[in-house]
Amino acid sequence: MTDETPAQTGTVQTGTAQTGVSPEGRLTGLARLFLKLGCFAFGGPAAHVAMMEDEVVARRRWLSRADFLDILGATNLIPGPNSTEMAMHVGWRRARTRGLVVAGICFIGPATLITGALAWAYVRYGARPEIGPFLFGIKPAVLAVILIAMWRLARVAARTAPLAGLGAAVALAALAGVNEILALLAGGLLGTLAARPWHRGSNAAVGPPPDVAAPDDDPDGADETADGSSDNEGGRPGVPAAILAPPVAAGWIAAGAPLWTLGLFFLKVGAVLYGSGYVLVAFLEGDVVGRYGWLTRPELLDAIAIGQFTPGPVLSTATFVGYLAAGPAGAIVATVGIFLPSFVFVSLLGPLVPRLRESAWTAAFLDAVNASAVGLIAAVTLSLGMATLVDWRAWAIGLAAAAAGLVGKVGSVWLVLAGAAAGWLLGLF
């Protein structure tokens, strides 16, 4: 054991390396970070990923930017909410199975609690809160956060002209209406063929250049102790039995929809939902309103709106739907059902992502997927920008947030909070 940092020894810290931090310290750091993001991560999946990049890569240096991109590319290829699974991947890299569980629950928890409280108020008072002025300021600030993250990630993902061209082609395809998963897979396959990895003499030349991380410090405070031991070393990560246990205590009775039907429906949605959480709307429209009749169409629109303006995962909409359909028990069943598949998928995928760099073929594919993922972020950013920058006030908030983030190195959470305050103040005039 040594007190030398990666910068002193020349090693690369990828998040799995244990550099003088105890398992308990890593879990505490994960809990603090993802509770904070769960409370303040507004703006949807692209914004959440951008805020994680700022916190995990730029500030805490838990992962290199290349590792973050590998996780992002792999996450886009499996079902489930992308940003939630990114949080779980970061947790697995830091503290294996326990880290995966802690990061996932802490990121999901605040959103579902807030959404559950709003659902209770909605049922009791028959209305959702009006927060238009705050959202007006949050949106351009979130757009700036996404732009900053895209710039940082593109410097690694699009480090060559062919990769940059591939990312641009995927962005254009997404803007033209091509399904994002198809665009991502097509980009990966084309990039692999163009790279011709069978001509490479060394696997090491295929992957992205090392992005050496700084010392493993925690800007939120000294909440981690030096020990250096590894959590779950040599063990295969899995999902603890506590997560798989029934979430509803015996004797709870649903007020409306049968709990087993509600749970199975959201379990199915969580297991097959590709892309961003916004695809959830299509599932809810067809089944929740049309097939089962749990909600009316106006209630569904309110549920979707609440899921979008609350922080954290957009899929917290399931909590609102579950509460309206079957009360508190329904909210718990729906929430567990829609997020449980992500814990399983990440626990299986987490150990495989680093191994993708060991083969020339898979490394080339991952490079191409990473460039394609940045292209998708660029397409989302352009679409959001056209819908968000509607007048001089939005432009002013967005440009100020971008300057503060790029030049002043202001954290993404502070940018979002400042944007909300600016939107409220400008709304007064």
pLDDT tens digit sequence for 340-353: 999 999 999 888 88
pLDDT in the model for residue 385: 84
pLDDT in the model for residue 148: 83
pLDDT band of 128, cuts 50, 70, 90: low
Residue 11 has pLDDT above 80, yes or no: no
pLDDT tens by residue, 157-181: 787 888 889 989 988 988 888 877 7
The position carrying tokens 């928890």 is 109
pLDDT tens by residue, 373-421: 788 878 878 887 888 888 899 999 999 999 998 888 887 778 888 888 8
Residue 244 has pLDDT above 60, yes or no: no
Which of 197-206, 270-279, 315-324 has maximum average pLDDT? 315-324
pLDDT band of 280, cuts 50, 70, 90: low
Q: Considering only CA atoms, which of 46, 320, 275, 293 is closest in space to residue 180?
A: 275
3-state secondary structure 82-119: HHHHHHHHHHHHHHHHHHHHHHHHHHHHHHHHHHHHHH
pLDDT band of 131, cuts 50, 70, 90: low
Mean of pLDDT values over 233-250: 38
Residue 129 has pLDDT above 70, yes or no: no
Q: What tokens were used for 68?
A: 């973050």
3-state secondary structure 25-84: HHHHHHHHHHHHHHHHCCCCHHHHHHHHHHHHHHHCCCCCHHHHHHHHHHHCCCCCCHHH
pLDDT in the model for residue 279: 54
pLDDT band of 429, cuts 50, 70, 90: confident
Question: Which H or E element spans position 213?
Answer: none
pLDDT band of 235, cuts 50, 70, 90: very low
The CA angle 144-148-150, to the nearest 5 degrees, is 115
Per mean pLDDT, which range of 90-99, 213-222, 231-240 is the poorest? Answer: 231-240
Per mean pLDDT, which range of 12-21, 94-103, 120-129, 247-256 is the poorest? Answer: 247-256
CA dihedral 41, 46, 50, 52 (to 10 degrees): 60
pLDDT in the model for residue 323: 94
Distance of CA 161 to the CA centre of its chain: 28
User: How many residues are listed for the chain in this entry?
Assistant: 429
Q: d(Cα 375, Cα 378) in Å, to the nearest integer?
A: 5
Query: Long-range contacts made by residues 337-340, C-beta under 8 angstroms, separation at least 24?
Result: 337/262, 337/263, 337/264, 337/265, 337/266, 337/267, 337/269, 337/270, 338/266, 338/267, 338/269, 338/270, 338/273, 339/81, 339/84, 339/104, 339/108, 339/270, 339/313, 339/315, 340/243, 340/244, 340/267, 340/270
CA distances from 405 to 49, 393, 412 (A): 15, 18, 7
pLDDT band of 2, cuts 50, 70, 90: very low
Which residue has better confidence, 277 or 26? 26
Residue 233 has pLDDT above 60, yes or no: no
Q: Considering only CA atoms, which of 210, 294, 358, 266 is closest in space to residue 80?
A: 266
Mean of pLDDT values over 266-271: 88
Give the global pTM.
0.67
pLDDT in the model for residue 180: 72
